[in-house]
Structure formats: structure tokens, C-alpha cells
């Protein structure tokens, strides 16, 4: 039972080693991914993975939870301090269940809400018809302006006045500009709606004041704890104190059983890291890197949704290159060159989500690795070379060699295969 994984399960050990090689060799530009610290990894791989802790600190259904309570309370207090929240639930397993808990707490089945259209930059849980949010509730989607590709708050206000939603959902997964949460609150106040913000992508930027913090303007805020927050895979829900009981009941026993205590430990570590001065510098560099990458892409002939970025991500529009619906092929070609991105829809997408006309990319992971503006300029040039020659294996191989050389300058998890 105490033998090393390399002996007990060589197949899994081999996959772990190869994933380590992949992330060290390549350039990780998927904006929802990041590299956690060794301390977060250590907290995650602990004895807490064995514990069952149904309930909340001080009110558990199992014995032996005195140290699980310490961990969860630390995570809660650190998250409160980080975001200035009145109440925090740290138990959600991931972002989608956290969002579902909010729906359960604030709405009845069939109620009307407004959410950001998926193709324009929203999320599945913001009202997609294939998701619980679109199946069990009536979603009125709001979109970006067709010409500017920006959110038009006056038009959103008009739509809200017409439809009278019970809840307004603000947030993004592929919108490259800042969101005005105060403007959303004014809309909600006008129509008597709850304001629920999903800041999964921009939580780190919000916590450090680089992006407007939605907490003062919202009834409820959710975020994942990875992405810019640079913690483990998981989520939290923040809310006004008056909604605390409803939110907690929606999470447990409404949706989940016991929390993942080892994940809560890793969340607590990540929140402590995010409270340090160095973390704000890191988030500032994310923005600098994103702007440098966006400028490089555009200088090399690529078109971006909204013409740039204000946050950590950007979306390349492939249409002007004659590559409508070629997002998957471009994603794969870039992957062959060790540049990892994801295919993505663009506003008013002319093709299907499976074969979209956009490429989404971001800078949290490469910034963690130590890349600065000069590296982003070079990477932008590499991306443009691949897109312009995505069927040319020789050029892709040349770009790959350039990327491999770049990776050697920025070691990642040195000396680590697995935690020992």
C-alpha cells in the first residue's frame, strides 16, 4: 500500500511524466489554465483526501473533523479578506455546480433570467439551451453590439425593461474587455432583479483591483479557484449575509455531499498566496503580457474580437484569413508546434461550436512561468506563422523548435515528476 506510484501503476506514472514534459516544453495559452505553486500541490496531495466532512464547520455529520474545520475556516476567512465578501462558501466542487447552487438558491424552476450569449463570450451555465440553466429556466440572452463587439449597457437595460428578469447574470469566458458591474447593478435595481456575477476568469484581477471588483455591486458572486486565481480546481460562492443560509443549503444538502477537504486545503493556500504583494504584481504582468501578445498578433496580420484586450484573454477571428469554421484545424496545428490554445466561437458565429471561427488564448499560465512582453511578441509571431501556414508541416516543425528553445529558458516545476 505504501509503494511508490512508479511501481504500483507504471501506466499512470508514465502519463504523469509525459504531462510534465508537455507543459515544460510547450507554451500554455489556454486562458482557463494556470500553474499552481508547489505549496498548493502539496496541500492538495494530503491525508485530507481520506476524510468525509458532510456539513459545515462545527456542524458536521461525521466525527474526527476538527482539522478539516480548521482548513475550511481558514479558506473562508482568507477568501472574505481577499474579495471583501460578507459570506463565503468554499465547498463547491467546480464552477458549474457553484452556479447551479445560485440558481437553486435564488430562483424557482421556470423563472426568467438574463445571461451573456455563449458565442459572444458567456458560459454554458449562463443560459445555453444544452445546459441546466437553459433547460430548466427561461433565459433571455444579451449579446454584444454587432459592429463594435462590445457590451452595450443601454441595449441591455432596454432588454431588461422589456423582459423583467428575476436575475441578471454578468461574467465572461471569452469576452476580452472589462465588465462594468456597477452598470449591471443599476440595470438590476431598475427592474428589481438579483445581480449574480460569475468571475471565474477574472477573479485574480478583481481581487487585486486591476479589474472592478463585483462584490460591492452584486447579491451573489461565484468564481472558480484556478484560472487567474492560481489555485486548485474548485470554486467558491460569495454573497451578502442575507443570502448566506439559502446559498449554503443549496450547496449542501441541495447539490453536494461532503466537501473535498484536500481541495479546501489547497484553496486556503492559494488564497494566502493571493493576499501577498507579489500576487498583485503577477496580475499586473498578466495584463501587460496580454496587451503585448494582442499587439503582436495584430501586427502580424491577425484580427482580434473587439480589436484587442483589456484583460487576460483575446480571441482571434479567422474569417479575414479565409478560415471560417477552421478553429479546430488551427488549434491542432498550433498544438503540433507546442502552442496550446482552444478553438472558440466568435460573436455572431457563422459556423457551429464544434467547428468555430475563432481561437481563444490568454496569458495567466505563461506569466506564472516568467514570460514578459518580449516573449509574448515572439509567441505572437510564431502563432501568425502557423495560422498562415497551418497545412505546412515543415514550417510547423520550425516553429516547434523555436518554442522548445524558448521553454528551456523558463523551467517549470524543476526536479519534480510527482510529489514525493
What is the pLDDT, as a whole number, of residue 33? Answer: 98
Q: Does the annotation count 348 as an active-site position?
A: no
Q: Does the annotation count 227 as an active-site position?
A: yes
Q: For 368-385, how does the pLDDT look when each residue is reduced to its tens digit (9 = 90+)?
A: 999 999 999 999 999 999
Catalytic residue among 80, 138, 233, 288: 233
Question: Which residues lie closer than 8 Å to 47 by C-beta, 6 or more apart?
Answer: none
What is the pLDDT, as a whole number, of residue 416? Answer: 84
Catalytic residue among 72, 117, 198, 219: 198
Query: For residue 6, is pLDDT > 80?
Result: yes
In angstroms, the CA 420 to CA 417 distance is 9
What is the pLDDT, as a whole number, of residue 415? Answer: 84
Enter the C-alpha cell of residue 23: 507543459
Every domain range in the chain assigned CATH 3.90.1150.10: 285-408
Catalytic residue among 224, 228, 309, 367: 224
Q: For 58-93, how does the pLDDT look when each residue is reduced to its tens digit (9 = 90+)?
A: 999 999 999 999 999 999 999 999 999 999 999 999
Query: For residue 420, is pLDDT > 80?
Result: no
Q: For 145-181, how does the pLDDT look when each residue is reduced to its tens digit (9 = 90+)?
A: 999 999 999 999 999 999 999 999 999 999 999 999 9
Q: What percent of the chain has pLDDT over 70?
A: 99
Query: In whole angstroms, how far apart are CA 180 and each of 20, 91, 163, 183, 291?
Result: 39, 28, 21, 5, 20
Every domain range in the chain assigned CATH 3.40.640.10: 42-274
Q: For 117-148, how does the pLDDT look when each residue is reduced to its tens digit (9 = 90+)?
A: 999 999 999 999 999 999 999 999 999 999 99
pTM exceeds 0.75: yes
Judge contact between 364 and 227, C-beta under 8 A: yes
- Under the banding of pLDDT at 50, 70 and 90, the label for residue 217 is very high
What is the pLDDT, as a whole number, of residue 355? Answer: 94
What is the pLDDT, as a whole number, of residue 419? Answer: 65
Closest among 61, 91, 85 to 73, alpha carbons compared: 91
Q: Does the annotation count 233 as an active-site position?
A: yes
Catalytic residue among 52, 56, 153, 413: 52
What sign results for the dihedral spanned by CA atoms 146, 152, 155, 161? positive
Closest among 255, 215, 243 to 95, alpha carbons compared: 255
- Under the banding of pLDDT at 50, 70 and 90, the label for residue 2 is confident
Average pLDDT, the chain: 97
- φ/ψ of 131, rounded to 5, equals -110, 160
Q: Does the annotation count 125 as an active-site position?
A: no
Q: For 292-326, how does the pLDDT look when each residue is reduced to its tens digit (9 = 90+)?
A: 999 999 999 999 999 999 999 999 999 999 999 99
Catalytic residue among 185, 227, 317, 385: 227
Enter the C-alpha cell of residue 258: 461532503
- Give me the residues paired with residue 81 across strands: none
In angstroms, the CA 212 to CA 220 distance is 15
In angstroms, the CA 199 to CA 296 distance is 27
User: For the residues of 54-98, what is the DSSP string, one character each?
Assistant: -EETTEESSS--HHHHHHHHHHHHHHHHHHT-SEEE---SSHHHH
Catalytic residue among 24, 33, 46, 54: 54
Burial of 16 (0-12, 13-18, 19+ CB in 10 A): middle
106-109's contacts with Cβ under 8 Å and 24+ in sequence apart are 106/166, 106/167, 106/194, 106/196, 106/219, 106/220, 106/243, 106/246, 107/137, 107/166, 107/167, 109/136, 109/137
CATH topology of domain 285-408: 3.90.1150
CATH topology of domain 42-274: 3.40.640
Amino acid at each position: 500500500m505504501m509503494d511508490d506510484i512508479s511501481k504500483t501503476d507504471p501506466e499512470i506514472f508514465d502519463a504523469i511524466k509525459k504531462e510534465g514534459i508537455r507543459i515544460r516544453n510547450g507554451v500554455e495559452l489556454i486562458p482557463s489554465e494556470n500553474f499552481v505553486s508547489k505549496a498548493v500541490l502539496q496541500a492538495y496531495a494530503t491525508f485530507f483526501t481520506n476524510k468525509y466532512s458532510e456539513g459545515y464547520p462545527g456542524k458536521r455529520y461525521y466525527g474526527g473533523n476538527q482539522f478539516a474545520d480548521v482548513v475550511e475556516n481558514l479558506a473562508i476567512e482568507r477568501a472574505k479578506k481577499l474579495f471583501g465578501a460578507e459570506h463565503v462558501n468554499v465547498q463547491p466542487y467546480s464552477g458549474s455546480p457553484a452556479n447551479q447552487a445560485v440558481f437553486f438558491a435564488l430562483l424557482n424552476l421556470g423563472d426568467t433570467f438574463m445571461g451573456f450569449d455563449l458565442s459572444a463570450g458567456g458560459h454554458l451555465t449562463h443560459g445555453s439551451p444544452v445546459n441546466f440553466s437553459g433547460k430548466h429556466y427561461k433565459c433571455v440572452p444579451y449579446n454584444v453590439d454587432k459592429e463594435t463587439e462590445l457590451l452595450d449597457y443601454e441595449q441591455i437595460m432596454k432588454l431588461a425593461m422589456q423582459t423583467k428578469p428575476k436575475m441578471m447574470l454578468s461574467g465572461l469566458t471569452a469576452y476580452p474587455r472589462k465588465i462594468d458591474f456597477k452598470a449591471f447593478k443599476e440595470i438590476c435595481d431598475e427592474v428589481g432583479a438579483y445581480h449574480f456575477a460569475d468571475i471565474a476568469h477574472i477573479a485574480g484581477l478583481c481581487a487585486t483591483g486591476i479589474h472592478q471588483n463585483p462584490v460591492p455591486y452584486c447579491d451573489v458572486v461565484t468564481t472558480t479557484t484556478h484560472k487567474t486565481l492560481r489555485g486548485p480546481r474548485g470554486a467558491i460562492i460569495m454573497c451578502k449575509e442575507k443570502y448566506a443560509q439559502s446559498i449554503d443549503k443549496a450547496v449542501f444538502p441541495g447539490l453536494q455531499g461532503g466537501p473535498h477537504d484536500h481541495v479546501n486545503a489547497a484553496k486556503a493556500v492559494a488564497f494566502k498566496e493571493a493576499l501577498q504583494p507579489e500576487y498583485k504584481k503577477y496580475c499586473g504582468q498578466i495584463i501587460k503580457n496580454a496587451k503585448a501578445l494582442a499587439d503582436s498578433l495584430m501586427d502580424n496580420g491577425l484580427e482580434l474580437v473587439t480589436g484587442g484586450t483589456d484583460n487576460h484573454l483575446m480571441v482571434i477571428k479567422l474569417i479575414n484569413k479565409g478560415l471560417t469554421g477552421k478553429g479546430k484545424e488551427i488549434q491542432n496545428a498550433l498544438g503540433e508546434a507546442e502552442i496550446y490554445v482552444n478553438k472558440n466561437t466568435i460573436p455572431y458565429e457563422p459556423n457551429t461550436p464544434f467547428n468555430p471561427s475563432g481561437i481563444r488564448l490568454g496569458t495567466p499560465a505563461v506569466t506564472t512561468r516568467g514570460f514578459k512582453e518580449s516573449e509574448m511578441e515572439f509567441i505572437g509571431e510564431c502563432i501568425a506563422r502557423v495560422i498562415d501556414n497551418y497545412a505546412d508541416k515543415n514550417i510547423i516543425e520550425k516553429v516547434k523548435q523555436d518554442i522548445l528553445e524558448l521553454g528551456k529558458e523558463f523551467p517549470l516545476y524543476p526536479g519534480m515528476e510527482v510529489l514525493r
